[in-house]
Structure 1
Amino acid sequence: MSETKKTISQDRKRTNILHRQELAFIAYLVERMPRWVTSNMLTALGLTGNLLVAVLMCLSSIQGAWLLLLTPLAFFINWFGDSLDGRLAYYRKKPRKWFGFCLDIMVDWIGIVAIGLGYYTYVQPEWKVVGFIFVVLYGAEMIISQLRYKVTDHYSIDSGIFGPTEVRIILSLLFCSEFFIPGSMHWSGLSVSVVLFLSFIADFRKLLAVANERDRAHQQEGQIAS
């Protein structure tokens, strides 16, 4: 692994399918980022991408589903800002680990809520609850990632082989399919929510098992000390 890759990946473990290709691309980009670009600017850009997704969905409910064909561009903008903000700080050896951690969590939550509202605006009344369920379940996965960090001292934003990048790609394809297959977003939104629910259950069970093992280790340490 190159020195740049080591520098920008030192604070987290990735397990998603595209992590090797993604890391190589990020390393390429941070080495060529203009000096005037800051991490905070990239964070704002990432949020703008998610807000643009929400705006496109809202406008599609009025102007037509063809606007959903632009959502891959909006998701790429989000990926660009969200993936490079912290990486750029580490590359320039000016990381603000806890500041960036807090900011990223809140910005990601705002973006997810915005996308959920966009979905809520676009779909038919009887499907609107799916947008609410999506936001709740995605938020639950975010909580799991924070609890995992607390319990294991290792920060991971992936759920098995899927991470934010894969989720962006899947959502882009599902949103675009609405233009070619009208009404498909209703069922795709429900399908994504089911997958998120199953992922949450699996991740929560694993987390509880790890937490239980850590408790046992602490109890054994206490018995030895006494």
Structure 2
Amino acid sequence: MNKDELSMAMVEKQIEDRKRTFKDRKRTNILKSTEQKAISWLVCRMPGVVTPDILTGIGLLGSILVLAGFLMATYVDVRYLLMGIAGLFINWFGDSLDGRIAYFRNIPRKWYGFSLDIIMDWISTILMGFGFLVYIKNEFEIVAFLFVAFYGWAMIISQVRYKITDKYTIDSGMFGPTEVRFIICAVLISEVLFVGSMKWFGVIMCLALFIINLIDTRTLLQLGDKRDLAEKAALANAK
């Protein structure tokens, strides 16, 4: 095999590895291309001793670090909120790579991984939401509650959509968990620079989540109606 053929073979292998790594879900978020390239680079270099379950645990540790940042900011100094940025990166690292590395190594446990991923995502949301609740205080505490509730609503939509369409997507149009992490990082930095701004950003984020969820719920119901009609037609044709 000459140099050109070897180079072509390596490119083809990289393409196949990438397809296998992302074959379990459809992504539509803004950062999809950049994120997938980063994940592809990381899974190729991850030591074999690092298992998908270990990465899931790392993602959870990131959420705990975000919680710790909120608590330290509340009782010590507001600048501890910046711990949350590191926590969100660690959470992304573990949460994004656990399933991807399982598919890359061709050792996926589809339903085990799916179940664990959903549970860990919900626990992470609760941890971060609790930290936000402790920090924000007073009449704006309801904002923290609504953020967790609306994010949970979005998670439910993604699971029901998977049931109806057999296609799993964690994004709502151009926005997904990665974009949300970036927005939260920006909010944390803003709060350190302008104390008190977080509560208003929280209101805006809750309003945005509410509108997005309403739109996604309407679309979900339309998909459900189409599937009902298709199943009725299939049943009628089978008689």
Which letter does structure 2 place at the counterpart of 1:211? G
Which letter does structure 1 place at the counterpart of 2:156? I
Residue 113 (1) aligns with residue 164 (2): no
Report what 1:221 is aligned to. 234
Report what 1:140 is aligned to. 153
Q: Is the 8 A contact 1:8 1:27 kept in 2?
A: yes
Deviation at 1:220, TM superposition (A): 1.5
Residue 92 (1) aligns with residue 105 (2): yes
Secondary structure at 2:108 match in 1: coil
Report what 1:125 is aligned to. 138
| Cα distance in 1, alignment partners of residues 232 and 106 from structure 2 | 39
Deviation at 1:55, TM superposition (A): 1.2
Residue by residue over 1:168-219, the C-alpha shift from the partner in whole angstroms, topping out at 9 and shown as x without a partner, is 0000110111011110010011111111111110100001001101111111
Of structures 1 and 2, the larger Rg is shown by: 2
Residue by residue over 1:109-135, the C-alpha shift from the partner in whole angstroms, topping out at 9 and shown as x without a partner, is 001001111011001311111111111
Residue 21 (1) aligns with residue 21 (2): no
Q: Is the 8 A contact 2:72 2:81 kept in 1?
A: no
TM-score by length of 2: 0.93
Residue 46 (1) aligns with residue 59 (2): yes
Equivalence map 1:52-67=2 (5 Å): 52-67=65-80
Structure 2 stretches lacking a partner, 5+ long: 1-13
1:197 to 177, 191, 210: 210
Secondary structure at 1:31 match in 2: helix
Report what 2:224 is aligned to. 211
CA RMSD in angstroms comes to: 0.9
| Cα distance in 2, alignment partners of residues 77 and 86 from structure 1 | 15
Report what 1:36 is aligned to. 49
Which letter does structure 2 place at the counterpart of 1:52? L
Deviation at 1:80, TM superposition (A): 0.3
Which letter does structure 2 place at the counterpart of 1:182? V
Deviation at 1:224, TM superposition (A): 2.1
Which letter does structure 1 place at the counterpart of 2:15? S
Structure 1 stretches lacking a partner, 5+ long: none
Q: Is the 8 A contact 2:66 2:84 kept in 1?
A: yes
Residue 171 (1) aligns with residue 202 (2): no
Residue 74 (1) aligns with residue 82 (2): no
Deviation at 1:146, TM superposition (A): 0.3
Q: In the comparison of the two structures, how many residue pairs are matched?
A: 226
